[in-house]
Amino acid sequence: MERKLMAEWLGTFSLLATVVGSGIMAERLADGNLAIALLGNTIPTGAILVVLITVFGPISGAHFNPAVTLSFLLRKEIALGAAALFVLAQIFGGIAGVFAAHVMFDNPIFDPSTTNRTGVGQWAGEFVATFGLVGTILACLKARADFVPMAVGLYITAAYWFTSSTSFANPAVTIARGFSDTFAGINPANIAAFVALQLVAAVLATLFFGWLLADDGSKTA
């Protein structure tokens, strides 16, 4: 369990260091072009997810996301106590990753975000992003488990652009980004609604894809 928790902590740490660090770098280099800044934030995030899931998947399953952990809890593939420890490791790892990015780019270490991300459109974006992410993972595990790292990386890369919220899709990521008044930040006052929609989406996606992917026992000739 110690190795699993360290994998979850370090994986989420690395994910947030990438999300926030690349956001800072992208904003500084984009010279005010928000599309270029978003692209500069998107590509490293999708790329690091492929790496992290490949590296840490054999150790902990590479959740890095309380919504994913909740899904596996509902599927009875992780015990409640272990799931709670996973979520704590993810949250604290993510916050530490934000602080590391701030140190690297000479930002104040503790720097709560002032970027408002709220409203029906943003909430709908988070629901869609999280529902799709959980569905992607469950469907890939059913069809081709070895493709999960690439599928998740590609999904998040796409969801950065097709969702109104730029696809946080992760309560640990959302909480951690509240500590960063940078391109990737979210006002702490907006976090609760994001997290609530993410968790609801995770539950519904688990139920829906459980039905969709169920083996009915039938055989084809």
DSSP per residue, 80-118: HHHHHHHHHHHHHHHHHHHHHHHHHTT--SSB-------
Q: Read off φ and ψ for residue 183, nearest 5 degrees.
A: -55, -35
Evaluate whether 6 touches 96 at the Cβ level (below 8 Å). no
- Domain residue ranges of the chain, discontinuous segments joined by +: 2-209
Q: How many CB atoms lie within 10 A of CB 153?
A: 20
Distance, in Å, from the CA atom of 4 to the CA atom of 141, rounded to the nearest integer, reads 19
Query: Tens place of pLDDT for every residue, the chain, 221 residues?
Result: 999 999 999 999 999 999 999 999 999 999 999 999 999 999 999 999 999 999 999 999 999 999 999 999 999 999 999 999 999 999 999 999 999 999 999 999 999 999 999 999 999 999 999 999 999 999 999 999 999 999 999 999 999 999 999 999 999 999 999 999 999 999 999 999 999 999 999 999 999 999 999 986 655 44
Distance, in Å, from the CA atom of 149 to the CA atom of 133, rounded to the nearest integer, reads 12
Token reading at 167: 């696809």
Q: Read off φ and ψ for residue 184, nearest 5 degrees.
A: -90, 5
Q: What superfamily would CATH give domain 2-209?
A: Glycerol uptake facilitator protein. (1.20.1080.10)
